[in-house]
Amino acid sequence: GAGVSQSPSNKVTEKGKDVELRCDPISGHTALYWYRQSLGQGLEFLIYFQGNSAPDKSGLPSDRFSAERTGGSVSTLTIQRTQQEDSAVYLCASSLALAGEYEQFFGPGTRLTVL
Amino acid sequence: AQSVTQPDIHITVSEGASLELRCNYSYGATPYLFWYVQSPGQGLQLLLKYFSGDTLVQGIKGFEAEFKRSQSSFNLRKPSVHWSDAAEYFCAVGRIQGAQKLVFGQGTRLTINP
């Protein structure tokens, strides 16, 4: 079956612009996660959604970052007023989140470059 | 605080040699442990996972890992590496109960000499 997909694969933007990154999880997966991978910081958790529960936003680095998940499926990560330090690969993952089935399946990522 | 340490940033081994990548974790509860591999320009692929049972777990591509609670370690091993194993390897820890964020180590980059 189809895996996690992300779009765009690459995004170049100018400092101060807003960007939206999209994630399509595996069908039927109730949990969706966003991570950021950058040089020097490694892989960092940003936010996750689990069913109808309030999202865990504890990893968002600033209030310029937000995410939503519509209809329990597709998610959009929005970064407002981008800064150069936002340059990174943004990875999305999804999981079934059932007992014993918490494996997270990752998408290919979106490489964001802020000039 | 939860943390994962991968002491080796970069390892080089010869093709056909054995491999061990180290991972130590700090976690306040019973951990759910993972090893992921990332090839250049690719996403993360799960190699193996552990949350209970036999402390020696087998994964894909001939990898195995051993959970040692007394040492808070979850080292990854392979008896004979192939050139295609060159990649970056990440150890991660999560909570067993419920969907939960993963905490990743900094990664170990593996280079294979022909």
DSSP annotation string for B69-112 = GGGTEEEEEESS--GGG-EEEEEEEEESSSS---EE---EEEEE
Distance from CA of A20 to the nearest CA of B (A): 19
Q: Which residues in chain A are closer than 8 Å to B104, comparing Cβ atoms? A: 35, 42-44
pLDDT band at B28; cut points 50, 70, 90: confident
Bridge pairing between strands B10-14 and B108-113: parallel
Tell me which chain B residue has its CA closest to the CA of residue A97: B99
Q: CA–CA separation, A92 vs A25, rounded Å?
A: 8
Residue B14: pLDDT above 90? yes
Residue-level pLDDT at B29: 75
Place of tokens 């400092």: A15
Residues 60-89 of A with CB under 8 A from B: none
Distance from CA of B7 to the nearest CA of A (A): 14
Q: CA–CA separation, A83 vs A87, rounded Å?
A: 8
Tell me which chain B residue has its CA closest to the CA of residue A107: B43
Least Cα distance to B23 among B12, B10, B34, B39 occurs for B34
Q: Across the interface, which of A30, A59, A106 has its CB nearest the CB of B101?
A: A59
Residue-level pLDDT at B20: 97
Least Cα distance to A48 among A95, A7, A89, A100 occurs for A95
For residue A55, whether the previous peptide bond is cis, meaning omega lies within 30 degrees of 0, is no
Residue A1: pLDDT above 60? no
Q: CA–CA separation, B53 vs A112, rounded Å?
A: 41
Tell me which chain B residue has its CA closest to the CA of residue A109: B43
- Max mean pLDDT among A29-43, B10-24, B33-47 falls in B10-24
Half-sphere exposure of A1 (CA within 13 A, CB side): 7
Average pLDDT value for residue range A63-71: 94
Contact B83, B114 (CB under 8 A): yes
Contact A115, A14 (CB under 8 A): yes
Residue-level pLDDT at A70: 86
